[in-house]
Structure 1
């Protein structure tokens, strides 16, 4: 196509991928359509080989724009639009490709149409890069969502890749281009805005290669970031989600469900085959083991014969060869089994189900009016689950239980021991019952009757159940044991009303709560009373907990920290088992109506306004049952609980005159309390450095470009720098009003250089920051300030990520990995563990000095960092002094930065730092960190279960570090 054809601009946004860009340019040059221009926007990446790119493009003109720093994809896209000369504009990612007829196909589609927008189809390509040979291997995976345009479908999901589209330049300019608030899904947002007024034409022809890189080659986005911007899309376009969209979703769900059921049938066939194969293979392996055992005996006999009869080596060699053949056979069978398992795990059914749930929960948020419409109109009948997952055996936890928990003899001893407690309070167990499953009800009752501590009473209130077995079972148990009190109500007053009626029956000094389908461990009350005998002044006791699956197996333990008031503002981590002094409950009036699903959260929040005498028993004393109707298995079963919890938290804050509001947290029933700033304090950001100008430049650029809070100063302290490029860079920025540069040309000492920096600053708030950090979240300063300005808080730390988006820092546990370690380190950005979520605001003993905020008055009260520490340990030491002085140390996951660790200084830590650390940390290394859990490992940072031999290993690590080993 030549002559009077309109010019088409192809915008390519790129960063640090010059080799891939060459492939992209080649696909542009191969287009059959002319005239075209390539608009390449380098978004703060490395220098590009422009002349080589021009050579690849040939007669395609190149319009090259280099941005001095990384502004993000939306900004780069808008820059490309601004510089494009074409009447029409296409986009091409720097790792995708066009087929030769792409542009000509799209131009033909928009010619003569009023709506100057069209799209073609894309072939999904799995691309693998072999780093050893440099070869690229492509595998076609099928066409990407090929169907005509539907605005309702587009609201549901972005099924049109940007690379398949052509727009008139006017349409893009009129739309305002990409919304620069979106770091992800900016193309989806743009398309939703444009296609609301202009309907695109669809050409059912594959003209684009849509590349999916293998895991080793790709740079993937963090799940938490995807969720954040997915939510942002739906919030921005929420007015477009109407009944038609919901009905359409129902149709899609039905279609996908049919597909899922077909996949499920295939899955079950694979499961059966897998199980049968395992059984056959196990038999073969046992046979092989017998043969190997017999062969070993034969080898021994042959060896004896060689000594006595000088038999030739041939017999022995034949036997060994036979064994090698058997080994090879077994290895082949294991390999085949592994391939079968891989097929099963990657079956489409799992992916389809995940997709359906994700779309459903975004379009129909739990607790919303749309959810109510959906339940009444579209999904009126509650259906039982048609699929039960394969039982997963948690061998590690089962083994831990067998070692750590009391056996039958120990339980018997507890009964005797408890009779000699000097303090033997009655504990009233509140258990509201309603239509409970027969077996679950009996298990619940038996768990109480089997307690090794005997001074209890069970107060059961039945909310007018219509299941006949309820009355029979409860009556039978109450006759057998006078400690079991039962009241049958004439109507159901709800969970709060029924529980309050049970409270009226209680005569105990302490009260605890047991759901009608859960269980207590037999030693639960014994452990509670044992603690009360040591600390009789305590008002509230809580414990660790786990779950029981539908087969009766214990799983998913939650090991909690000691009393953590800020963690409770994120999630009701106390939950089960919770024991409260009765006069506290009486003073607050028991449960309140209107908090269903979160009535226990509301209760504990009102209790902590009355007392701070709270203790944690680090033992699993409560089993939360998982079944189809329980939140233990699916939190969305009671999605109203989230809003009830938010309401309870708002009222707690208001009732305690805390100037804050409540937002949603990272998941259901997780929250974020936003403390409102009463002033606009100046923050002095203190950054020591030595040379490495590019590292420093990346850090400073990220602060200046991304920080939404503007009242700060940067105190840059050069420590014996010598590189000319570094000084040239400092000269280029020294005139910026927020930057002050100082030189500290003495031997590096982390404590001394930061103390020096404080003296040069004048901010009300201090932020100690490593030069090898890079800001991710724009409101990082506000997220730290909101805690630092609270009078009870001494220091605040943030979430730091390694460049691969795994956790570098999410709090410090003293005693972890020897001296002090970063809990959750090397785990995913949104990890959930035996210790809970990395995305909870938490109390800790310490946070890292790589990014730590303190008020100046607090820092001066402590007289700064201890300069006896040279390189490592003074950040933890100052935090421990804060704790001793009555301050809290807070970690917030909502301030997020990258940490390119140890890019400036070396990694060798002086022995003296270890010895000083031991002197300061010893109390917590030997006695335990209260904000961790003693059942969790201190050898690793993944919150896995503690191993038996850990103490000896940790002792050896410490002694070696101090030069004693």
Structure 2
């Protein structure tokens, strides 16, 4: 079996891809301890861009009272203060790395207020420290549990204000770093917060207390912070995970929810869905809009009977047309009367929930009504089981958009509380998708160019680009009878190519999000749909550009090729470039990028990375899976300015069709 599969990979994708596939197979049997050990030896040293001018950050390691902390911080002469509990230790290069990061972000036009890094926590099962790889700034996640931990950096004045605010609330005995983070971040915009993807803090506690459990005091504190902004909430402890709390935003029933259900020739499935809505929904102000794109006459009559049982609270739209999920959803949205839209697959079944203060629909409504929220999704399980179908969609290196922890068991805390805490996500599935009508219209609705797949991904990316957070509510649990609505895209090559084409369309429309997910750490695996620590990490390695004036490309002699170009450039931790280079079935492996203007020219050798579906995305038969490349650039010594960008491959220069700006 293995030899047959090996021959298939070699025949279709080449020996190099086979070596990559073999390596990934071996990684599946690698422990996190082993992968982390490889990272510490091979990757971490290449991340450590330090700053000799480490004068903007000072360290305050403190576990006393807020009064004594205030005195210590006030006496420090630095723009930023790094604070941590005495149970934490900072890396020896912490201030140098953070200072460099602050300066790089200033180059990108960001004056940060709050910064945090990844950390190492003692793992009892492994008997050693393992990395805690965090998402970028995620306010909804932070409200659910303390994902940042007890160490961070803040501007001195913001930290002093937060300490004084804690004092005013009577919390004078023991410093709570979670409270300090919540106060500072409640006043921050996304652009005010930075995250360094390096393990620079070690939690030296060796017991379960290294994960702070939720308690009545924290619930009251969160309630106070939110209600100070006139947001009425209940804070509810999760019944499965002691570290997690859920914010239930108190709704008013003036908000009309339009539940839009696309369906065709599935009366029995639709009946189950509608009956479950009626049985388990306390929120009464909703309507149902069933959109049918061409059921046969018999099933059409059954649909009409089902809708009639809701006595005016449901409507039926029949429009015979080829299947286009986006078009069906947009029809439903146009017919909807509500200011909130809930797109629901007809094979979703509502079930009983774990809380008593509200119901599933009210939780989604309350979250969707928040100013910062885009789309809201729910935890979906396979029917009558504890197997996960959806706890958020991640955008990563290998498979692009994938369901996180698909088919994992939902009967214990998965890493980072990922199946219990409420999480900000780049994308949530369209199978259960709530959004305010005004935000839906602002995003342009579902793009009907995405007929079958990636329509939910596309609108989620649009919402993110518009500044909204898409939120997974893990406290809303529903059954999804997946595969009734649509067949499996992996069944045949034609469907697979269609799926890959949709992915490429997505990246063409959202180039700055090509294989970039702010809510899924680049230190984690890019080949599996889980939180395993990665062993092949390119996106966090920074190469120092070399001066190369004598090799300066001649602008008039560069070729322009649709298969050799840079597709994305920008600052994440530092400057990053991404693109691809190939011609027909020939890959330009590890090409060289030149950045130049009238004053300077720099040369950087980039790293080719394997994308096993790249040939499908580009419609090429085989052997171009190493055409994509990625490069992080250490811009410390580069002169500011706008640079033209060229790619040198196979002895030729190609216009990369983009400019790179290095800010001063």
TM-score (norm 1): 0.48
> Match for residue 326 of structure 2?
751
1:810, 1:942 → 2: CA distance?
11
In structure 2, the CA distance between the partners of 1:919 and 1:409, relative to structure 1 (3 Å rule), is closer
Q: Find the aligned partners of 1:499 and 1:889 in 2 and give their Cα distance.
A: 36
Q: Is this contact kept in 2: 1:912–1:962, CA < 8 A?
A: no
How far, CA to CA, are the matches of 1:515 and 1:961 in structure 2?
A: 48
Aligned partners of 1:954 and 1:734: how far apart in 2? 54
Structure 1 pair 898/586, CA: closer, same or farther in 2 (3 Å)? same
Contact 1:877-1:917 within 8 A present in 2 as well:
no
Aligned to 1:921: 507
Change (3 A) 1:598 1:506: closer
Q: Answer yes or no: is 1:425 the counterpart of 2:56.
A: yes
1:430 touches 1:499 (CA, 8 Å); kept in 2?
Answer: no
Residue 798 of structure 1: aligned partner: 378
Moved more, 892-901 or 788-797: 788-797
Give the aligned partner of residue 209 of structure 2: 631
Counterpart pick for 2:530 among 935, 942, 957 = 942
Change (3 A) 1:940 1:723: farther
Change (3 A) 1:961 1:831: farther
Give distance in 2, aligned partners of 1:915 and 1:793. 29
Residue in 2 that maps onto 1:375: none
Distance across 1 between alignment mates of 2:308 and 2:44: 74
CA contact (8 A) 1:430 1:503 kept: no
1:961 positional shift: 4.8
**1:619 paired to 2:250:** no
Distance 2:187 2:43 in 1: 39
Q: Give secondary structure in 2 for the equivalent of 1:580.
A: strand
For residues 44 and 251 of structure 2, the distance between their equivalents in structure 1, rounded to whole angstroms, comes to 57
Please give the secondary structure, in 1, of the residue aligned with 2:31.
helix
| Map of 2:145 onto structure 1 | 571
Per-residue deviation, 1:698: 1.0
Partner of 1:77: none
Partner SS, residue 956 of structure 1? coil
Which residue of 1 is the match for residue 655 of structure 2? none
Say which SS state the counterpart of residue 501 (structure 2) adopts. helix
Which residue is 1:642 aligned to? 215
In the comparison of the two structures, how many residue pairs are matched?
501
Match of 1:675 in 2: 249
Of 605, 608, 613, which residue of structure 2 is paired with 1:957?
613
Matched position secondary structure for 2:445:
coil
User: What do residues 808-857 of structure 1 show as CA deviations (whole Å, max 9, x unaligned)?
Assistant: 11111123652311112222225534443322111112111111011122
Q: Verify: 1:548 aligned to 2:136, yes or no.
A: no
Contact 2:345 2:431 in 1 (8 A): yes
Deviates more, 1:659-668 or 1:916-925: 916-925
Q: Sort the Cα spacing of 1:752 and 1:580 in 2 relative to 1 into closer, same or farther, 3 A.
A: same
CA contact (8 A) 2:36 2:130 kept: no
Mapped partners of 2:87, 2:151: distance in 1: 14
Structure 2 counterparts to residues 429-828 of structure 1, below 5 A: 429-432=60-63, 494-536=64-106, 537-548=111-122, 554-590=128-164, 592=167, 593-594=170-171, 599-612=176-189, 613-627=192-206, 631-632=209-210, 642-666=215-239, 667-722=241-296, 724=298, 727-728=301-302, 730-731=304-305, 733-737=307-311, 738-777=313-352, 779-803=359-383, 804-815=385-396, 818-828=399-409
Taking a change above 3 Å as real, the CA distance of residues 555 and 830 of structure 1, as seen in their structure-2 partners, is: farther
The structural deviation recorded for 1:406 is 5.5
Q: CA deviation at 1:867?
A: 0.7
Aligned equivalent of 2:31: 396
When residues 655 and 858 of structure 1 are mapped into structure 2, their CA distance, relative to the original with a 3 A threshold, is same
CA distance in 1, matches of 2:43, 2:258: 61
Structure 2 CA distance for aligned equivalents of residues 520 and 582 of structure 1: 18
Kindly indicate whether the alpha-carbon contact (under 8 Å) linking 1:686 and 1:714 is maintained by their aligned counterparts in 2: yes
Cα distance, 1:777 vs structure 2 = 3.6
Mapped to 2, the partners of 1:907 and 1:409 lie a distance apart of 40
Q: Any gaps of 5 or more consecutive residues in structure 2?
A: 1-28, 354-358, 490-494, 540-607, 623-664
Contact 1:546 1:554 in 2 (8 A): no
Report if the CA contact (8 A) 2:65-2:172 is conserved: no
The 3 A distance-change label for structure 1 pair 848 and 732 is closer
> Structure 1 residues 735 and 661 mapped into 2: Cα distance closer, same or farther (>3 Å)?
closer
Q: 831-840 vs 918-927, which deviates more?
A: 918-927
Q: How far does residue 876 in structure 1 lie from its aligned partner after superposition?
A: 0.9
2:466 & 2:306 partners in 1: Cα distance?
43
Q: Which has the larger radius of gyration?
A: 1
Q: Distance in 2 between matches of 1:865 and 1:833?
A: 32
SS of residue matched to 2:55: coil
Question: Is structure 2 residue 482 aligned with structure 1 residue 893?
Answer: no
Q: Please list the CA deviations of residues 536-565 of structure 1 after superposition, one character each: whole Å capped at 9, or x if unmatched.
A: 311211011222368996334321100011
- Tell me if structure 2 keeps the 8 A contact 1:594–1:644: no
Superposed displacement of residue 942, structure 1: 1.8
Show the 5 A alignment for 1:96-115.
none
Deviation at 1:868, TM superposition (A): 0.8
Residue 154 (structure 1) aligns with: none
SS at match of 1:955: coil
| SS of the residue 1:569 aligns to | helix
Tell me the CA shift for residue 741 of structure 1. 1.6
Deviations 1:421-470 (A, max 9, x none): 4x6324122234xxxxxxxxxxxxxxxxxxxxxxxxxxxxxxxxxxxxxx
Q: Deviations over 1:574-596 (max 9, x none)?
A: 12431111111223345535376
Alignment correspondent of 2:657: none
Instruction: State the distance in 2 between where 1:739 and 1:409 align.
Output: 57
Q: 1:498: Cα distance to partner?
A: 4.2
Q: Is the 8 A contact 1:686 1:766 kept in 2?
A: yes
Structure 1: how far apart are the matches of 2:103 and 2:177?
A: 26
Is contact 1:541-1:615 (8 Å) kept?
yes
* CA distance 1:670–1:905, change in 2 (3 Å): closer
Q: Which moved more, 1:753-762 or 1:830-839?
A: 830-839
User: Which structure ranks higher in relative contact order (CA pairs < 8 Å, sequence separation ≥ 6)?
Assistant: 2
Would you identify which runs of 4 or more consecutive aligned residues in structure 1 move more than 4 Å?
406-411, 549-553, 595-598, 924-927, 949-954
Aligned to 2:557: none
More helix per residue: 1
Query: What's the CA shift string for 1:123-158, capped at 9, x where partnerless?
Result: xxxxxxxxxxxxxxxxxxxxxxxxxxxxxxxxxxxx
Q: CA deviation at 1:501?
A: 4.2
User: In structure 1, which of residues 903, 923, 930 is the aligned counterpart of residue 484 of structure 2?
Assistant: 903
Q: Which has the higher strand share?
A: 2
Query: What SS does structure 1 have at the residue aligned with 2:273?
Result: helix
Provide Cα deviations, 1:865-887, integer angstroms capped at 9, x if missing partner.
Answer: 11111100111111111122222
> Residues of 1 paired with 2:483 and 2:117: CA distance?
39
Between the aligned partners of 1:848 and 1:878, the Cα distance in structure 2 is 10
Shift of 1:719: 2.4
Q: Cα distance, 1:769 vs. partner? A: 0.8
Cα offset, 1:931, TM superposition: 1.1
Taking a change above 3 Å as real, the CA distance of residues 884 and 733 of structure 1, as seen in their structure-2 partners, is closer
Matches within 5 A, 1:267-306: none
Between the aligned partners of 2:126 and 2:84, the Cα distance in structure 1 is: 18
CA contact (8 A) 1:769 1:849 kept: yes
